[in-house]
Amino acid sequence: MAAPRPLLVLLPGMDGTGRMFEPFVQALGDWEAQVVRYPPELTAYADCTAFARQQLPSGRPFLLLGESFSGPVALALAAERPEGLAGVILVSSFARNPRPEWLWLRPLLRLLPPLQLPRPLLRRLLLGKGAPPALVQLTTAMLPHFPTAAMKGRTLAVAAVDATDLLGRIAVPLLALRADRDRLVPWAATACIRAHRAQLDIATVRGPHWILQTRPEACLKAIRTFVDLLPPTAPGAPGPT
């Protein structure tokens, strides 16, 4: 009898609500998942990492999946080698600022009050063209729970982050799942991770930045392939050393 798959701990994108995991969680079927939801007042990476750390499971194998903003959170937690961690999955994510060419905007962003980006622009950046109405509706329902102050704070956090030094301290397998039409996180972000960690699995899914939302089945197929090749981890066993 095949061993049960590890619990999938889902760390959310910049909105922090976890609401946008809904299409992917539905696709998981009987694969158990735990969604972490950051309070809107937590915008610094250190605070989000501390919050997520408190919610890690104990006594069972688990996987960390960091979507977009949460990639550095997943890397920081994995570098601590928590008990039971079997692998790390970064989805449309990065180890350091994926758009260094935008750094000149950082001082301006600090001075500006929190601004609400136009919803059509957000949908185009995140969902691409032709998103199903149900997914557009889900995005619209999420936005009131994502204050503009949280958006500004987390954008500033992304601009300053650099977790590349943590990659060498992660002892479990790592998968970078990227979108080939990502307007926010370019291929260079994945190449940066590979430059600091030679043992990196890379899977590319056709779609926009939000591939877990627009292509959940394709993402799940890539993740299953990665998980099926993981070394066995006994329940409660410490991470590899």
Instruction: Check residue 123 and give its pLDDT.
Output: 66
Instruction: Check residue 116 and give its pLDDT.
Output: 55
Instruction: Check residue 108 and give its pLDDT.
Output: 53
Instruction: Check residue 2 and give its pLDDT.
Output: 61
Beta bridge partners of 96: 162
Instruction: Check residue 120 and give its pLDDT.
Output: 66
Domains, the chain, in order of start with CATH, read: 7-228 (3.40.50.1820)
> Cα–Cα distance between 20 and 140 in angstroms, integer?
10
Other Cβ atoms within 10 Å of 26 Cβ, number: 9
Helix ranges (H only) for the chain are 22-28, 45-53, 71-79, 106-111, 119-127, 133-142, 148-160, 187-196, 211-214, 216-228
Q: Which amino acid is at 138?
A: L
3-17 CB burial, b ≥16 within 10 A, e <16: eebbbbbbbbbbbbb
Instruction: Check residue 152 and give its pLDDT.
Output: 87
Instruction: Check residue 105 and give its pLDDT.
Output: 54
- The pTM (predicted TM-score) of the whole model is 0.89
Instruction: Check residue 130 and give its pLDDT.
Output: 73
List, for the chain, all residue ranges whose pLDDT scores fall below the cut of 50.
1, 104, 234-241
Instruction: Check residue 234 and give its pLDDT.
Output: 46
Cα torsion through 76, 82, 85, 90, rounded to 10: -10
Look up residue 191 and give its two tokens. Answer: 């190449």
Look up residue 111 and give its two tokens. Answer: 């001075």
